[in-house]
Homo-oligomer: A and B are copies of this chain.
């Protein structure tokens, strides 16, 4: 049994103990070039969550596919909610997990925008300050950024992201995609960032399914380790 809400109230009561881990996948509806679906970030986080749950016995909470987009906020198809909305939503959900006796949570975001992640972290901080819980908050992209696979040359909708979607949902790839460069002046907060960036960073044509599978596996293994460590930590 993997999905938290497949359980009945009685099963839930029996199932939950101090060792239980719940993964809450967070995605977003967001422009991802002409070759990737709006669900790109959601797909990746949910795929990772399912694989990690399989290997660790974690439960998966219903995914949230609504998040905060800044740079892509003016593109067609992007659905960006307010920072405070995302924060409140995740705060409420985590608090209810706490009320229900869940001690270990992973908030896993497929989207890696810095304010989006700040909303998730703030929510988690407010919850651990009032509940005996341990909460991991991360984006799968932070893991591969750390390892040097993404960066200023290849990021949003680029070869890495395209590779990963090729490995997860090849049916949603819509052609090759256009190469792009992010020329938004560093640190600049702008009304129209799309004047300096066309929505793709990197060259999607360099993507391969194999690269995607390798990156997905790398992320999954890292997360499995983190969850095992978290289970051993004291609250």
CB distance from A207 to the nearest CB of B (A): 15
Q: A93-B79, A188-B134 are in contact. Are A62 and B88 (CB under 8 A)?
A: no
Residues of B within 8 A of A32 (CB): 8-9
| A42 CA to B188 CA, complexed, in Å | 22
| A33 CA to B35 CA, complexed, in Å | 45
Would you call B66 and A81 a contact (CB within 8 A)? no
Interface string of A120-151 (1 = CB under 8 A from B): 01101100110010111110001000000000
Residues of B within 8 A of A19 (CB): none
| A206 CA to B189 CA, complexed, in Å | 36
Number of interface residues of A (CB under 8 A): 83
Q: For residues 31 through 45 of chain A, which have their beta carbon under 8 Å from a beta carbon of chain B?
A: 31-39, 42
Would you call A29 and B13 a contact (CB within 8 A)? no
- Of the candidates B35, B124, B189, which one forms a contact with A125 in the assembled complex, judged by CB atoms under 8 Å apart? B189
Query: Is A153's CB within 8 Å of the partner chain B?
Result: no
- Of the candidates B39, B42, B62, which one forms a contact with A29 in the assembled complex, judged by CB atoms under 8 Å apart? B62
CB distance from A117 to the nearest CB of B (A): 8
- Top 4 nearest A-B pairs (CB, nearest first) are A118-B118, A62-B65, A5-B39, A12-B77
